A and B are shown apart, each in its own frame.
Chain A
Amino acid sequence: MADVQIMTGNSAAAIAVKLSHVQVVAAYPITPSTSIPETLSQYIESGELKAEFIRVESEHSALTVCISASTVGARVFTATSSHGLLYMHEQLHWAAGSRLPIVLCCANRGVGAPWSIFNDQQDSIAQRDTGWIQIYCRNNQEIIDTVIQAYRIAEEVYIPVMVCYDGFVLSHTMMPVEIPDADMVSDFLPPYKPHTIVSPENPKNINPVIFPWRRLNAEGVLCDGYMEMRYKLQKALDDARDVIISTSRTYADVFGRDHGGMLWTYKTEDAEIILAGIGSVASEATVAADTLRDEGIRAGVVGIRVFRPFPKEEVKEVFKQANAILVFEKDISYGYEGALCADIKAAFYGTGIKAPVHNYIAGLGGRDVKAREIAEATRASLDEIASGHTEPKTIWLNCHTG
């Protein structure tokens, strides 16, 4: 019988880490991710998880420990939020450049100044260009399943994976979660094989200075220059798309749950209006879509599950029929617009998609985004578009200034 328990998103993440037989955990506590390493340290102390918990003085060191342990062949995990993730920023680049399959959970939280402990996605969206795969979850079941998938994806493509989910909205909210069978997870997740075996018998100089040009090393082997190394990372991220999709499908075959590969859709088949978002805000939009449908407005929802690599091909396909597109997101690329909206519009370039796109910046610093507010915003956008205003527009939802 299925083992269903009521738990928080952070508990779901910690259980997934245990089921994935992680060998080294290094983390520094920060709200709202703190209870993940807390729970893991209990598992390790009790012997439930045979791993080493390495205490560090900062998030920068936490990820550095993970980089070192992963380099010598350990499956590693860390978790953080907000300023902790920002403090890891440098090491995020090192992890991706070293092609280490590290999995990091980010319980999304707003970024100072001013201080906020509450949810938005500015922290991880701001890490977009570090070379990590970013997967966003919409409920606690998806968190437990995605962390397990993340190890399989990371270890196949040798790219670190950030599993992101909304702080408090998911991290501290309890909901029913089916816990996958431990033996089935072990079968799904073969042991980690590092891309290079580093040992006392096979010492390596790791990440030496790489010159702009390709060159022969001391043994006469032609080595990549910096650009070749970086191109390999970009190509690996492009190729990761197929692995993410196939991993999601295989997981669905084994465990019976499919959260979508690169993105998920809700009632988009006949939708004239498509609401799009990342994580729990997109989940909330499905409730709004039902309300709108009751009023005769054919609304659907697209949830972007994987933000990097960006699901360009899927985006071109799912928005094809839409007459209007509304992107709700909990981040802002200051001086332009929401990061997701910009990417969605860029994917449309050269296609026949000409629908007006409205970008709603919503829920920054934990401000509630209610389904009825999403529905109201949709009605307002549709009225505006109907009256002939079809230009792209960025609107700050529920923001009372001026």
Chain B
Amino acid sequence: MEKKDDNISAMCGPAIGEAGKTGDWRDMKPVHDPSKCIPSIKKKAACFLCWLYCPEGVIKATIPIEIDFEYCKGCGVCAEECPAKAITMVQEGEKNG
């Protein structure tokens, strides 16, 4: 039998994915081009404004950056903030999308 929550008010422990896999809300997908990305070009930790601004915390500050598409909602903030225009928003299901 599945466990049932008997809370009288809505609460949950901190966990990834409380609202389900929110990546399937996505309409536009961020596509990353390492050849334009500052940390990738300089081969050192730099910039990472995408990681800083991502409201969902789904971008990892690695070289190259990694985006968790299970939870990326496709808001486009990373593409907007990238000073090197290394991230472009592409319609889901289209070329590179």
Chain A residues within 8 Å of B, Cβ to Cβ:
97-100, 158, 195-196, 198, 203-211, 215-224, 229, 232, 236
Residues of B within 8 A of A218 (CB): 12-13, 15-18
- On whether the beta carbons of B13 and A229 are closer than 8 Å, the reply is no
Interface secondary structure of A, over-half rule: loop
Question: Which listed residue, A195, A203, A215, touches B9 by the CB 8 Å rule?
Answer: A195
CB-contact partner of A232 in B2, B8, B15, under 8 A = B8
Determine if B10 and A208 form an interchain contact, defined as CB atoms under 8 angstroms apart. yes
Establish whether residues A207 and B18, one from each chain, have CB atoms under 8 Å apart when the complex forms.
no
Known A215-B20, A217-B18; contact A224-B5, beta-carbon cutoff 8 A: yes
How far does the alpha carbon of A211 sit from the alpha carbon of B4 in the complex, in Å? 16
Please name 5 pairs of A and B residues whose Cβ atoms are closer than 8 Å in the assembled complex, sorted by A. Answer: A210-B10, A215-B20, A218-B17, A221-B3, A221-B5
Chain A positions within 8 Å of B5 at CB level: 217, 221-224
A193 to B3, CA, bound (A): 25
**B14 touches A (CB below 8 Å):** yes
Contacts A195-B9, A220-B3, A236-B8 known; list 19 others, CB within 8 Å: A97-B9, A98-B9, A99-B8, A195-B8, A203-B14, A204-B11, A204-B13, A205-B11, A205-B13, A208-B10, A208-B19, A217-B5, A219-B13, A220-B2, A221-B2, A221-B5, A222-B2, A223-B7, A224-B7
Partner of A207, one of B10, B13, B16: B10
CA distance A220 to B2 in the complex (A): 8
- Complex Cα distance, B11 from A385, in Å, reads 56
| Alpha-carbon separation in the docked complex, A38 to B44 (Å) | 60
- In the complex, what distance in Å separates the CA atom of A359 from the CA atom of B49? 66
Partner of A229, one of B10, B16, B17: B10
CB distance from B8 to the nearest CB of A (A): 5
Residues of chain B from 18 to 58 with CB closer than 8 A to chain A in the complex: 18-20
The reply to whether A206 and B13 form a contact with Cβ atoms under 8 Å apart is no
Q: Quick one: given A218-B17, A218-B18, are A205 and B12 in contact (CB under 8 Å)?
A: yes
Q: Give Cα distance in the complex from A203 to B16, angstroms.
A: 14
> What are the 3 A-B residue pairs with the smallest beta carbon separation, nearest first?
A218-B15, A99-B9, A223-B5
Cα distance A158–B11 when bound, in Å?
15
Residues of B close to A196: CB separation below 8 A: 7, 9, 11
B33 → chain A closest CB, angstroms: 33
Bound: A186/B2 CA distance, A? 42
User: In the docked arrangement, what's the CA distance between A380 and B19, Å?
Assistant: 62
| Assembly CA distance A207 to B10 (angstroms) | 5
Q: Is the CB of A208 within 8 A of B12?
A: yes
Q: What's the Cα separation between A255 and B16 when bound, in Å?
A: 52
Question: Nearest Cβ distance between residue B2 and chain A, in whole angstroms?
Answer: 5
Bound-state CA distance A100–B15 (Å) is 24
Would B12 and A223 count as touching, CB distance under 8 A?
A: yes
Asked whether, in the complex, the Cβ of B12 is within 8 Å of the Cβ of A204, the reply is yes
Specify which chain A residues have a CB less than 8 angstroms from the CB of B8 in the assembled complex.
99, 158, 195, 232, 236
Cross-chain contact A203 with B12 (CB below 8 angstroms): no
The answer to whether A221 and B11 have CB atoms under 8 Å apart is no
Q: How far is the CA of A210 from the CA of B20 in the complex (A)?
A: 11
CB distance from A236 to the nearest CB of B (A): 7
Q: In the bound complex, what is the Cα–Cα distance between A100 and B5 (angstroms)?
A: 18
Interchain nearest-CB distance for A218 vs B (Å): 4
Q: Are B3 and A222 in contact (CB under 8 A)?
A: yes
Nearest Cβ distance between residue A155 and chain B, in whole angstroms?
A: 13
